Amino acid sequence: MTEPTLRIDAGRCQGHAICYLLAPDLFEVDDEGRGSVIRDTMKSDGDQEQAAIAIDRCPERAISLRSA
């Protein structure tokens, strides 16, 4: 089975930077606060948990974790 991959839909991201604040191991933000994924594969249950929280808290529903 394919490992799920963490993604940010750049078209939806509005730069709230909540993903980075909640999960700095998985996301970074640019000067405008727009997020990008720095590690797209989940190495531990802690990673999965952080990803799930970020997915839940992004106001724009821009983050997803899905199989390729």
Both structure tokens of 56? 């839940």
User: Which residues have a Cβ under 8 Å from the Cβ of 19 and sit 6 or more positions away?
Assistant: 8, 26, 27, 29, 35, 54, 57, 58, 63
> Which 16-45 residues touch ligand F3S, going by CB under 6 A?
16-19, 29, 33-35
Map tokens 């604040």 to a residue: 21
Of 1 and 59, which CB lies nearer to ligand F3S in the complex structure? 59
Number of residues that bind ligand F3S (CB under 6 A): 16
Among residues 13, 23, 37, 51, which is the contact residue for ligand F3S, using CB under 6 A? 13
Q: Provide the binding-site residues for ligand F3S, judged by CB under 6 A.
A: 8, 13-19, 29, 33-35, 58, 60, 62-63
